Amino acid sequence: MTNVPSKVSIIVPVYNVENYLTKCLDSLVKQSLPDIEIIVVNDGSKDDSEKIIKEFAQKYPEKIKAFAKENGGLSDARNFGIDKAAGDYIGFVDSDDYVTETMFEEMFHLAEKHQAKMVICNIQKVDENGRIVQKLTQLPNMSEKIELGRHFSIFSDISYFACNKLFKKELFHQRRFKKGIHFEDIQLIPQLLLECETIAQTQNFHYQYLERSDSITKTHTEKGLDMLKAVADVEKVFSESQYSNKKTELKNFQIFEGVYSFLAYLAFVKEEKKFYNMSDQLNLFMKERQIKIQDILLYSRFGKNYILSLPLKKKIFYLLFFAGQKKLIRKLI
């Protein structure tokens, strides 16, 4: 492989995605930013993913760096890629998604322009025909350059996906994705944000998140409790960070990720015993942090009351839970 200096390393963990991988890699080799490396990590795939990876590596040897390892999960594959990355910046793309041609060029230039250690773009969910299903605006009504000291409310407003962000590589010097857990993004990305003083964003919808028609609905289990553990891990780092005095924003983070996001997961837990156990764990989480029902009902995101902005079905579920009507919820699930 020719050694070309890389401004951006794009890490693509791969596991049994033969039907989607070509479109993903095609969108990456066509990036308008020339100085990139695409680190493709085959995490023990059992389908034809490896064959597709080899074809791309042969066709684009100056861009593709292909690796194969035993299956270790998403966090392990991402960490493997971070260790191999030579770029000044790191991005992550899931292997069944794809991106616009200019994504990494624009985000790289924004990072350099504003000396930002993290850059964010918008996401749109698409179906397999490329039709837009939903647009996910990340930071509405915010400027291109965001100084966290003045706008720290974004700590609780932001969506902590890894895939729609570009990171300065130095953020990963001491930190990695936690292995063997669910919700690894919620666990790590807030910690990286706490290392930043300035971030940047584009309102362009660069990241195309595929809603797969062949995906079987994931079983919602007690693994959802990892979400509460992720919040606890962030709390520890928060208390030692330069923003440790921002108590209101921390509480809002606890409410959004630890209560609302957790309840959104809990709504799909079918097994009754697990549902009640997870409900008890959430109540304990709230009690330990002195989060009151009033705090939750008054929580605002992007300046708007969160619960009032939700679809009716979700709103009813949350309100019944806060009212202690768990038996009635079970009838609705």
The model's pTM is: 0.94
What's the CA gap between 228 and 4, in Å, rounded?
42
Chain segment 232-284, per-residue pLDDT in tens? 999 999 999 999 999 999 999 999 999 999 999 999 999 999 999 999 999 99
Chain segment 20-59, per-residue pLDDT in tens? 999 999 999 999 999 999 999 999 999 999 999 999 999 9
pLDDT bracket for residue 326 (50, 70, 90): confident
Average pLDDT (105-113) is 98
Report the side by side order of strands in the sheet with 36-43: 64-69, 36-43, 8-14, 89-92, 165-168, 118-120, 198-201, 145-147
In the predicted structure, residue 104 carries a pLDDT above the cut 70: yes
Average pLDDT (126-133) is 93
